[in-house]
Structure 1
Amino acid sequence: MASYHRVLRVFDRSVQDKSLECDYDVHPWEILINGERWEGKIRLIGFVDVFFLICYSAEARFEKGIIVYKNDDAIRDTLHRAKVDPNGIGLKVVNENERESDPNVPKRYFNFASDMINYTIESLGHKVGLGSKYPKSSVIRYKITMLKSKNPAMKKRIRRGITQHSLLDLMYDAFRLGVVSHAEMMAQLLGTLYTGNTMDDTMRKYVELLATSSQPGGVALSNEGA
């Protein structure tokens, strides 16, 4: 069996990418994937827009894995191209209240929750391998429950790897990494306006970001919570 690094390359990804957020081993007892506990070594590899969960053996040999989408544009596009009904796979719209006020607001499906012990993610994904094409039936809803790390630095990186990025985070990504498009930032900005946050606060944070991004240690990002 090939290395899981070859599987990542199928998706034009690498653990050397600037958009990498986390690359850690997760103990099998720390994570449930659709209620299932995988056996063996599990690697969590998170990027700005997606994350991978990969089961591997000695010498990084790939056994099985999944990709989970964090970007709602990519989720909507994948549902459309695969001709999959989100209701049919149990994928719920998470911004119904927002859409009641304005039906033109795009549907959002990615859901993230954090409690005292666990992170819970619900989103669209599918199994991965060395193939570049996957059957329609492979596109499903995933619910992932993950025990929080007790290592503060590791916990922050993991959280960034499994959550959507806020507007401030996208600005940081664009400014420091050059990996976020103007369209993505505008979509997030519009979402900020729809939810009632003030433009002044957003721009103030952006100015602070520009002022501190060149300093050693960078900046504290908005979703680096517990």
Structure 2
Amino acid sequence: MASYHRVLEVFDRSVRARSLECDCDIDPWDILIDDERWTGKIRLVGFVDVFFLICYSGKERFEKGLIIYKDNHSVRSTLERAGKNTTEYVINKEALEDENIQKSYFSFEDEKGGLNYQILGVGHPVGLNTNYDPESLKQYKIKIRRSSDFVSRKPIERGLKQHTLGDLMVDVVRLGFITQAELISKVITMAVAGTATDDLARKYLQVLSGGQPGTPSLSRDRM
């Protein structure tokens, strides 16, 4: 089998990318994927909008892996292109009854008083293929034991979490381009709400309207 770096390249991703948030090993005893435990070494490679869980052997020999989409807009678009019923994947069910609540297809929970992170997200298996069967899309439940080392814990959390509005604004500056369509909708929501952050919101709307139109290709483009 090839190196897992070649698998990342299929999705136009690299551990040298500026959008990388986390590139670290997870002990196989510290993670469950749909209540199953993978055997072998496990690597978490997290980016701004997605993260990969990769099982490998030797130094970098790819065995199997998953991609999980964190960005709500990307998930919805991917599901629509795959001909899926998007409502079945909405996690915050109250959003189905209230149009003012944004539908979320991803959740990250840090168990209070517990030892684990719990993630619900839509994704599919990955490999060296450039096309994937739409039927391979599904919702995964992932549980990861929280590291006791604060220094190593922070990049893991950033690799797993959705980015907040503040995070996304920092990403615009750090990455040099808009990487998530959610930023636009969140900023508009701030402006309409009439909060104390109106001025900041308007400034960012101006940046977005006159910013670079190009965005990096999302992994959903491979479906």
Q: TM-score, normalised on structure 1?
A: 0.80
What SS does the aligned partner of 2:105 have?
Answer: coil
Q: Determine if contact 1:19/1:179 at 8 Å carries over to the other structure.
A: no
What SS does the aligned partner of 1:59 have?
Answer: coil
Q: Determine if contact 1:32/1:146 at 8 Å carries over to the other structure.
A: yes
Deviations 1:171-195 (A, max 9, x none): 111112224348442122245568x
Unaligned runs of 5+ in 1: 208-226
Aligned-pair identity (%): 47
1:15 aligns with 2:15: yes
Q: Per the alignment, do residues 181 and 46 of structure 1 end up closer, same or farther by CA in structure 2, a change over 3 Å counting?
A: closer
Question: In the alignment, what sits opposite 1:130?
Answer: 128
**What is the correspondence of 1:14-53 to structure 2 with a 5 Å cutoff?**
14-53=14-53
What SS does the aligned partner of 2:62 have?
Answer: strand
Q: Per the alignment, do residues 56 and 191 of structure 1 end up closer, same or farther by CA in structure 2, a change over 3 Å counting?
A: farther
**Equivalent of residue 184 in structure 2, options 179, 183, 186:** 186
The aligned length equals 201
Give the distance between the partners of 1:65 and 1:141, measured in 2 at CA: 15
Q: Per the alignment, do residues 28 and 79 of structure 1 end up closer, same or farther by CA in structure 2, a change over 3 Å counting?
A: same
Q: TM-score, normalised on structure 2?
A: 0.81
Q: Determine if contact 2:123/2:139 at 8 Å carries over to the other structure.
A: yes
Q: Which amino acid aligns with 1:112?
A: F
Deviations 1:154-174 (A, max 9, x none): 111111101110010001111
RMSD of aligned Cα (Å): 2.6
Give the distance between the partners of 1:50 and 1:141, measured in 2 at CA: 14
**Equivalent of residue 140 in structure 1, options 138, 141, 150:** 138
Question: In the alignment, what sits opposite 1:198?
Answer: 195
